[in-house]
Amino acid sequence: MDLLAVIQILDSTFRLATPLLFACLAGLYSERAGIFDIGLEGKMLMAAFSSAAIAAIFGSAWFGLAAGIISALLLSGLHGLASITFRGNQLISGVAINFLASGLTVLIAQYLFQQGGRTPSLSSDGRFEPITLPLADALAIVPVLGSIYSELLSGHSLFVYLAIFMVPITWWILYRTRFGLRLRAVGENPAAVETAGVSVHALRFAAVAICGVLCGIAGTYLATSLQAGFVKEMTAGRGFIALAALIFAKWRPWAALWTCLLFGFMQAVALRYQNIDLGIVVVPVQLMDVLPYLLTVVILAGFVGAAVPPRAGGEPYVKEH
């Protein structure tokens, strides 16, 4: 295997890990605040559709991004309303959001564009084009490092850099700010936070809103950067892989980055080598596809240290008077 092949696989890893990382961090904020969110998939899907639709209508990728974020925020608000305000079951609410997004996107797309539940193909104005880092072309001739810089680090969409940048930001917010401390506390022991005079509901709504924004970016990335338009069910389970990654990372931001890169890498390898011939055995592609879930089960079973979710996760908070 030569250097170019390695670089191409890693390149593909970054592209595939980006939506996972956004969704994983989105889930991290929400679940650290005690709100389980299996509606990541639905929010990404809704954002993918809205961003593609608005970008197609107005011919602007930035309008698309705004629409993607707003639509995911609306679904987040719905999740918050159901599970925080009305103390409903968070899992049921998440499932409902997934179904709602799956149906609504196709329905509205068909109504707006009559193209069978998809949006028209976006022109280049409606898409986030890859960014070439400075001097990438000039440095390409430098052996090894030059090609790593120009092929691997340069030439990604804005979102890829943003996703990686979000990891230290998230770490800093969670562990170095007052808001982050309260956010973590509200997921562990909301009564203590309430005693300190801070509103549990407001904190949880804030966490759910951040989750919505990040899911919105993830969906927009899928529809306006990786692709040029929306197709029915185009998230194809990425929201659930992100949830698996979140558990695998044990709800920590840096671990989330490594996990998403690992899962992205496994997908990239599976895409490039359908059957991996190891000489003695041939690893079928299906095994590569199932590995993220398999690893998560291994983690959950406690083989590699227990994955303990936030203690108050999934519990609606009832104020004590």
Site for other proteins, rule CB under 8 A = 4-5, 8, 12, 15-16, 19, 106, 110, 114-118, 121, 222, 226-229, 231-234, 236-237, 267-268, 271-272, 274, 285-286, 289
Query: Nearest approach, Cβ of 227 to other proteins (angstroms)?
Result: 5
Other Cβ atoms closer than 10 A to 306: 10
DSSP-assigned beta bridge partners for residue 282: 277
Which stretches of the chain are DSSP H helices?
Answer: 3-32, 40-58, 61-80, 90-113, 136-139, 145-147, 158-176, 178-188, 190-195, 200-221, 238-248, 253-272, 285-300
CB-nearer residue toward other proteins: 207 or 242 = 242
Other Cβ atoms closer than 10 A to 94: 25
CB-nearer residue toward other proteins: 5 or 202 = 5
The structure tokens listed for 245 are 């990654």
CB contact at 8 A, 18 and 191: no
Distance CA 245, CA 262 (A): 9
Query: Nearest approach, Cβ of 289 to other proteins (angstroms)?
Result: 7
CB-nearer residue toward other proteins: 153 or 285 = 285
CB contact at 8 A, 183 and 203: yes
Cα dihedral 289, 290, 294, 295 in deg (nearest 10):
0
Query: Nearest approach, Cβ of 284 to other proteins (angstroms)?
Result: 10
Q: Which of 81, 84, 91 is nearest to 42 (CA)?
A: 91
CB-nearer residue toward other proteins: 17 or 33 = 17
CB-nearer residue toward other proteins: 24 or 200 = 24
CB-nearer residue toward other proteins: 6 or 92 = 6
Q: How distant, in Å, are the alpha carbons of 117, 179, 222, 257 from that of 17?
A: 27, 28, 11, 9
Query: Nearest approach, Cβ of 114 to other proteins (angstroms)?
Result: 8
Query: Nearest approach, Cβ of 4 to other proteins (angstroms)?
Result: 8
Query: Nearest approach, Cβ of 110 to other proteins (angstroms)?
Result: 7
DSSP-assigned beta bridge partners for residue 131: 156
CB-nearer residue toward other proteins: 35 or 160 = 160
Query: Nearest approach, Cβ of 286 to other proteins (angstroms)?
Result: 6
Distance CA 20, CA 17 (A): 5
Query: Nearest approach, Cβ of 193 to other proteins (angstroms)?
Result: 39
Query: Nearest approach, Cβ of 231 to other proteins (angstroms)?
Result: 5
CB contact at 8 A, 116 and 107: no
Other Cβ atoms closer than 10 A to 67: 22
Distance CA 210, CA 208 (A): 5
**DSSP designation for 125:** G
CB-nearer residue toward other proteins: 131 or 226 = 226
